[in-house]
């Protein structure tokens, strides 16, 4: 009995250890490949440099940081309110039959390959924006719309879980006080589910900022600081995705360095989300 | 206690899916009395209390038959506003239900819902309610603190204060003293006997001793049926039904 327990313990330990070490190896690999070029160019020049011209040895990723930030912010502005409202609808208003239908549908949304989203965006969103708002259509707005749809499953399901996890006494206590359903949602349910919702939003943003394939087709990928949401941009991820195929030498290193920046942003976002959810308990 | 019948329950049946939990219960609650409803666990007392402010409706599987009149008007009439009914019939649950907001706001919420905006008036209401619930001295310096930071017993007294501040006609108290120490319990019991001048109180007591100490009348429930009701002394010293006698003398339950 004891032996059996010990054996399974070591098997699990090995498995856990190997997945962690895979992660560590990737991190180390990215850092080894990326750090030298940052050191060579200078961290300030790398991050705040306006010009990205690998053939001239110019490696400034500021336009792409702006690209990533704007596209992601746009996705958050569009996707978060819709996602949170969906979750409220599902937990508070939808008849059970409807939410039983809705939930798998949302999960399905999460299962669609991102390249399909990109393709769909290129065929429908981009022409729509070009016709109704002007500009090339390939734009921040197009990317934000696609990403907003893609983060919906994350935002909806985490928000839903955090609302459902509330003790039922909150609800009953509020209703017994003579609150209406809306008042209960506004002054009891939402405030107490707040940390879960914030975590949902941050994880959604993390997902959006790391997305590559879906946005590569609809952003236009121009390396320039955009002036409006109808301008094309390039994000950190698409920069790597586009150039990795043919890059070599310092150019390749600069792409790894782009990865480091992305990596740090996502780590910070996830750590924040974890910190917020943990603080709750 | 007056002769006026505040709540008239007639032939009440409550079901959860197919299971019947309250069986043909008929009971009058008189204005300004403290009525204790006691019985062994699972008798349906909580369910009965929750039907009086229509909270059972939140459970989709529940079904109710019979009539409940509050001041001669059915609480199930279509023109009855649920929120008004619940402000008239306040409830303290058998587990503390503080809302996730400050101590002050928990208690001021009810008065604010009723339209009271003046901060000074609200402050007075909150203080009075906390005094009556025997909690004021412990929290008077931290009214802005989250209600969730209180101990279980304090949270329970907060819920009692919250109901008092709502100024309802009827107060349903489901084991309000569970989780309270003997001192707070006796303070609450003292308050209750004074409060019945203003309210009609229906109490699911902690035990028969408590029922004896605070109530005018008592009712004994067993497996969803009302076995016996009457003045406390009559029921406790001269029970008509042998099942009541068995329960009181501790022979079962
Ligand atoms: N939501 C529900 N769904 C199904 N059955 C329920 C539900 N709530 C209560 N019951 C059942 O109804 C019966 C009465 O429960 P109730 O809570 O009213 O009893 P009680 O007298 O308050 O008991 P206790 O002394 O334990 O508080 C129990 O058999 C219980 O299992
Ligand atoms: Mg009970």
CA of residue A147 to ligand 2 center, whole Å: 49
**φ and ψ at A156, to 5 degrees?**
-65, -50
Q: Between residues B180 and B19, which one has the greater pLDDT?
A: B19
Q: How many folded domains does chain B comprise?
A: 1
**B137-164: average pLDDT:** 91
B25 occurs within a structural domain? yes
Distance CA B167, CA B235 (A): 31
**B195-220: average pLDDT:** 91
Pocket around ligand 1 at a 6 A CB cut-off:
B 16, 21, 41-47, 59, 61
If contacts are CB pairs under 8 Å, which of residues 79-98 in chain B contact chain A?
83-84, 86-87, 90-91, 93, 95-98
Q: What is the pLDDT of residue A145?
A: 95
B110·A169 Cβ contact <8 A: no
Predicted complex: ipTM over 0.90: no
DSSP summary character for residue A89:
I
Q: In a mutagenesis test of the A interface, which of B85, B97, B111 is the best target, namely the one with the most A β-carbons within 10 Å? A: B97
Closest to B50 (Cα-Cα) out of B32, B33, B68: B68
Nearest to A178 among B86, B98, B101 (CB): B86
The pLDDT confidence band at residue B122, using thresholds 50, 70 and 90, is: very high
Q: What is the pLDDT of residue B252?
A: 59
Closest to B199 (Cα-Cα) out of B227, B225, B160, B247: B160
Question: What is the CA A269 to chain-centroid distance, rounded?
Answer: 9
B253 occurs within a structural domain? no
Tokens linked to A251: 């150019």
B85-118 per-position pLDDT tens digit = 999 999 999 888 898 889 999 999 989 988 888 9
- Residues of B in Cβ contact (< 8 Å) with A179: 83, 109, 113
Segments forming the whole domain that contains residue B229: 5-248
B144 occurs within a structural domain? yes
Atom of ligand 1 lying closest to residue B43 CA = 21
CA of residue A161 to ligand 1 center, whole Å: 27
Distance CA A161, CA B77 (A): 36
- Residues of A in Cβ contact (< 8 Å) with B53: 176
Closest to B188 (Cα-Cα) out of B163, B212, B214: B214
B62-82 per-position pLDDT tens digit = 999 999 999 999 999 889 899
Nearest to B100 among A180, A183, A192 (CB): A192
This prediction has a pTM of: 0.79
Query: CB burial class (10 A; 0-12, 13-18, 19+) of residue A184?
Result: buried
**B29-51: average pLDDT:** 94
- Is the pLDDT at B42 greater than 70? The verdict is yes
- Is the pLDDT at B1 greater than 80? The verdict is no
Q: Would you call A50 helix, strand, or coil by DSSP? A: coil
Q: What is the dihedral of CA A232, A237, A243, A247, to 10 degrees?
A: 150
Nearest to A170 among B100, B109, B110 (CB): B100
B209-242 per-position pLDDT tens digit = 899 899 999 999 999 999 999 999 899 898 899 8
Domain A62-280 of CATH type 1.10.3720.10: yes
Annotate chain B with three-state secondary structure.
CCCCEEEEEEEEEEEECCEEEEEEEEEEEECCCEEEEECCCCCCHHHHHHHHCCCHHHCCCEEEEEEEEECCEECCCCCCCHHHHHHHEEEECCCCCCCCCEHHHHHHHHHHHCCCCCHHHHHHHHHHHHHHCCCHHHHCCCCCCEHHHCCHHHHHHHHHHHHHHHCCCEEEEECCCCCCCHHHHHHHHHHHHHHCCCCEEEEECCCHHHHHHHCCEEEEEECCEEEEEEEHHHHHHCCCCHHHHHHHCCCCC
Which residue of chain A has the CA closest to B86? A178
CA of residue B14 to ligand 1 center, whole Å: 11
End-to-end CA distance of chain A: 36
Q: What is the pLDDT of residue A280?
A: 55
Residue B176's domain is classified under what CATH number?
3.40.50.300
Q: What is the pLDDT of residue B253?
A: 47
**B194-207: average pLDDT:** 90
**φ and ψ at A165, to 5 degrees?**
-75, -10
Closest to B19 (Cα-Cα) out of B223, B192, B159: B223
Q: In a mutagenesis test of the B interface, which of A99, A163, A169, A176 is the best target, namely the one with the most B β-carbons within 10 Å? A: A176
Q: Would you call B31 helix, strand, or coil by DSSP? A: coil
Residues of A with CB under 8 A from a CB of B: 96, 169-180, 183, 187-188, 191-192
- Residues of A in Cβ contact (< 8 Å) with B90: 176-177
Whether the Cβ atoms of residue B224 and residue B23 lie closer than 8 Å to each other: yes
- If chain A, 281 residues long, is cut into consecutive pieces of 10 residues, what is the mean pLDDT of each piece? 85 92 92 91 90 89 93 93 93 89 89 92 94 90 94 92 88 90 90 86 88 90 88 92 89 93 89 78 48
- Residues of B in Cβ contact (< 8 Å) with A193: none
Q: Which ligand is nearest to the CA of B39?
A: 1
Distance CA B122, CA B130 (A): 12
Query: Which helix (H) or strand (E) covers residue B47, if one does?
Result: helix B45-52
Q: Would you call B241 helix, strand, or coil by DSSP? A: coil
Domain ranges of chain A: 2-48, 62-280
């Amino acid at each position: 009995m004891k032996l059996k327990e010990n054996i399974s313990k070591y098997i699990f330990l090995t498995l856990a250890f190997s997945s962690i070490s895979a992660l560590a190896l990737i991190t180390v690999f990215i850092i080894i490949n990326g750090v030298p070029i940052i050191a060579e160019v200078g961290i300030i020049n790398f991050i705040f440099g306006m010009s990205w011209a690998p053939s001239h040895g110019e490696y400034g990723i500021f336009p792409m940081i702006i690209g990533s930030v704007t596209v992601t912010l746009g996705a958050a502005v569009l996707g978060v309110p819709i996602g949170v409202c969906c979750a409220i609808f599902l937990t508070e208003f939808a008849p059970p039959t409807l939410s039983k239908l809705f939930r798998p549908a949302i999960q399905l949304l999460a299962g669609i390959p991102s390249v399909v989203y990109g393709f769909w965006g290129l065929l429908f969103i981009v022409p729509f924006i070009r016709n109704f708002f002007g500009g090339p259509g390939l734009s921040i707005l197009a990317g934000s719309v696609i990403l907003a749809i893609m983060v919906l499953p994350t935002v909806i399901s985490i928000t839903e879980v955090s609302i459902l996890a509330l003790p039922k006494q909150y609800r009953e206590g509020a209703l017994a006080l003579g609150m209406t359903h809306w008042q209960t949602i506004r002054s009891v349910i939402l405030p107490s589910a707040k940390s879960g919702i914030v975590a949902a939003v941050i994880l959604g943003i993390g997902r959006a900022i790391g997305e590559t394939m879906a946005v590569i087709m609809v952003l236009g990928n121009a390396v320039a600081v955009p002036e409006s949401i109808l301008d094309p941009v390039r994000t950190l991820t698409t920069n790597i995705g586009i150039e990795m195929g043919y890059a070599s030498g310092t150019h390749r290193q600069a792409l790894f360095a782009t990865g480091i920046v992305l990596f740090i942003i996502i780590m910070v976002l996830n750590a924040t989300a974890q910190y917020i959810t943990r603080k709750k308990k | 206690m007056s002769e006026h019948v505040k709540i008239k329950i007639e032939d009440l049946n409550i079901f959860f899916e197919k299971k019947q939990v309250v069986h043909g219960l008929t009971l009058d609650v008189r204005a300004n009395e403290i009525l204790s409803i006691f019985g062994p666990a699972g008798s349906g007392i909580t369910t009965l209390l929750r039907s009086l402010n229509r909270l059972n409706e939140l459970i989709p599987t529940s079904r109710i038959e019979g009539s409940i009149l509050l001041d001669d008007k059915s609480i199930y009439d279509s023109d009855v506003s649920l929120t008004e009914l619940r402000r008239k019939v306040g409830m303290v649950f058998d587990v503390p239900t503080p809302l996730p907001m400050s101590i002050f706001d928990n208690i001021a919420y009810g008065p604010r819902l009723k339209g009271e905006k003046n901060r000074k008036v609200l402050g007075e209401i909150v203080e009075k309610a906390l005094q009556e619930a025997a909690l004021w001295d412990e929290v008077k310096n931290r009214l802005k603190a989250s209600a969730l930071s209180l101990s279980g017993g304090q949270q329970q007294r907060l819920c009692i204060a919250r109901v008092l501040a709502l100024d309802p006609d009827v107060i349903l108290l489901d084991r309000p003293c569970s989780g309270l120490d003997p001192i707070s319990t006796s303070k609450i019991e003292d308050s209750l006997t004074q409060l019945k001048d203003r309210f009609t109180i229906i109490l699911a007591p902690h035990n028969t001793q408590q029922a004896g100490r605070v109530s005018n009348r008592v009712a004994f429930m067993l497996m969803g049926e009302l076995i016996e009701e009457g003045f406390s002394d009559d029921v406790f010293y001269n029970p008509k039904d042998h099942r009541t006698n068995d329960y009181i003398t501790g022979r079962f339950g």
